[in-house]
């Protein structure tokens, strides 16, 4: 059990190497919220994977900062002794805000595991020293620009390419990319909820291109629509935004809405629930992979630990630091032969560089006992 003395909230802004466009918007700067927990044993870091605006999910940086400051951090500090496995129980009275809760849980996990000299991967049950990785490619102004970018990523060694799609940037674009890279390259698409049930016939055209999966074509709460599409489509349907817990994952699989699951720890409320989603999918023989949210090296380290679990059999969106940032907060992560190394040090196995952290910080505040 651990006693928390204070929690620090730190807003940062990190320019991206290039604009990253999806069906819900374009990002050129990664605005993020970091959480530092100080305990009687050690300190730990968490990363809240919310965006600047409520477009991917209803959570965003300002809302996460507010709920952490006013409700979540004070509740956790008030607990006389708390274990990271108890965080969700302690915070259960505050509805929703999974990404904010997940960041606080991540920071406490990091602190506790540093105190016991155990890595996050070992704690979660990881079995791999390296994990296969792919790259997520945003929407470009033209197909030639897109293909140039893909050629560069394939030269970097990524094992598969994920293409963001939306109305007007889907079937024709995918056909052009498949013609260019051939059928030996793993290719999948991600709609980020851009389509509706009225588009099912249109989406069936994606069956022609040997895709690994079609990720989240419909709204997050439309499990029935995804089940209807899955029944008609030969390409597996992968759910992302729909999966908010292990129970939802089990329900979606049971009704035929998901043949593959993308696990994002922040979206389900933390790495402990992410492990439960993994376990449910493994029991139901459904493959999973680890999604990305433009994380800094802190979140990237945690995602590598998660992706080292045995059920993560598909390359995840855990790209090299240089894919998004000129300088990462931590020692840069690199791709080696299509894989990335799982950190083995205590806790996350990485920590922010103090000089870089200070440069990118825009605001800090502390919540104390």
> What is the Cα gyration radius of the chain?
20
| Tokens representing residue 334 in the block | 């690199």
Q: What is the dihedral of CA 235, 239, 242, 247, to 10 degrees?
A: 110
- Say if CB 301 and CB 350 are below 8 A apart: yes
The answer to whether residue 3 is catalytic is no
Q: What is the dihedral of CA 109, 111, 117, 121, to 10 degrees?
A: 30
The enclosing H or E element of 34 equals: strand 25-39
Segments of 153-255 assigned E as strands: 160-164, 186-190, 214-215, 237-239
Which is the catalytic residue, given 3, 95, 162, 164?
164
Q: What's the CA angle centered on 48, arms 137 and 284, to 5 degrees?
A: 70
The residues with which 169 forms a beta bridge, in sequence order, are 166
In whole angstroms, give the CA distance from residue 315 to residue 325.
Answer: 21
Other beta carbons within 10 Å of 189: 26
Residues in Cβ contact with 51 at an 8 Å cutoff, skipping those fewer than 6 apart: 27, 31, 57, 60, 61, 293
The residues carrying an active-site annotation are 164, 264
């Amino acid at each position: 059990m651990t006693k928390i003395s204070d929690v620090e909230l730190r807003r940062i802004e990190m320019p991206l190497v290039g604009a990253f466009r999806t069906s819900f918007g374009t990002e050129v700067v990664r605005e993020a919220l970091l959480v530092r927990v100080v305990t009687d044993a050690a300190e730990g870091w968490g990363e809240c994977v919310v965006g600047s605006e409520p477009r991917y999910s209803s959570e965003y940086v300002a809302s996460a900062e507010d709920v952490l400051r006013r409700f979540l951090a004070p509740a956790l500090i008030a607990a006389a002794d708390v274990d990271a496995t108890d965080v969700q129980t302690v915070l259960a009275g505050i509805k929703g805000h999974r990404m904010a809760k997940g960041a606080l849980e991540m920071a406490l996990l990091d602190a506790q595991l540093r105190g016991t000299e155990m890595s996050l991967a070992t704690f979660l049950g990881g079995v791999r020293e390296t994990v296969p990785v792919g790259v997520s490619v945003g929407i470009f102004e033209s197909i030639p620009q897109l293909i140039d970018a893909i050629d560069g990523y394939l030269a970097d060694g990524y094992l598969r390419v994920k293409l963001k799609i939306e109305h007007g940037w889907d079937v024709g674009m995918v056909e052009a990319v498949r013609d260019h890279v051939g059928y030996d390259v793993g290719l999948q698409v991600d709609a980020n909820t851009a389509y509706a049930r009225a588009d099912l016939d249109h989406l069936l055209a994606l069956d022609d291109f040997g895709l690994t999966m079609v990720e989240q074509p419909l709204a997050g709460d439309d499990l029935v629509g995804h089940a209807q599409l899955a029944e008609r489509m030969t390409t597996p349907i992968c759910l992302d935004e729909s999966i908010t817990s292990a129970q939802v994952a089990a329900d979606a699989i049971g009704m035929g809405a998901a043949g593959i699951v993308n696990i994002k720890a922040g979206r389900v409320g933390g790495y402990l629930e992410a492990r439960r989603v993994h376990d449910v999918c493994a029991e139901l023989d459904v493959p999973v992979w680890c999604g990305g949210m433009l994380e800094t090296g802190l979140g990237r380290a945690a995602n590598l630990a998660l992706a080292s679990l045995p059920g993560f059999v598909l390359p995840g969106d855990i790209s090299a630091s240089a894919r998004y940032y000129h300088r990462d907060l931590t020692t840069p992560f690199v791709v080696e032969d299509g894989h990335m190394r799982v950190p083995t040090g205590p806790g996350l196995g990485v920590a922010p560089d103090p000089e870089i952290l200070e440069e990118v910080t825009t605001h800090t505040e502390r919540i104390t006992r």
